[in-house]
Amino acid sequence: MNATAGVNAYAKIGLESNVIAADPHKLISMLYQGALLAIANAKNAILRKDIPTKGSSISNAIMIIDDGLKASLNKDVGGELALNLDALYGYMTQRLLTANLKSDMEALDEVARLLNELKGAWDSIRPNAANANTASSAAPAAQAVAPKKQPALVYGRM
């Protein structure tokens, strides 16, 4: 086994371990990060004039957006927000297809900017597990009296 194959195998095991241990909120964040990484790889491939890698990277980004983010939307519970995200993901896919056909860096930058904004918003609403654990162990009765209102689930088919 050469060094590259060993590093790739190690990275794959690390990613699989992270996915297994992640809660649904973290999984969505990981999907955003994966799509952003695929877009960065596509941009680097365009700069190197590496057409096969560009195509593969953009295909990976499209797959993450369509089969991951878009497919996990819960449109019944998420309402208008879920429908708007569905349309935005469709737009991103179209821009990525254009970027692939024309090696369009601006299209890649646009999709990356949109994904970064969504990821930032998603990460900012992450439930703080440490505070929840502290509060539940310190005052379980107080939580029963004053439960926190949770936002409607936009992503829910996980």
- The CATH number given to whatever domain includes residue 66 is 1.20.120.340
For residue 73, give the DSSP letter. Answer: B
Burial degree of 120 (CB within 10 A; 0-12, 13-18, 19+): exposed
Residue 145 lies in a domain: no
Residue 98 lies in a domain: yes
Residue pLDDT, tens place only, 59-68: 999 999 999 9
Residue 54 lies in a domain: yes
Rounded to 5, what percent of the chain is helix, strand, coil?
80, 0, 20
Residue pLDDT, tens place only, 79-119: 999 999 999 999 999 999 999 999 999 999 999 999 999 99
Residue 22 lies in a domain: yes
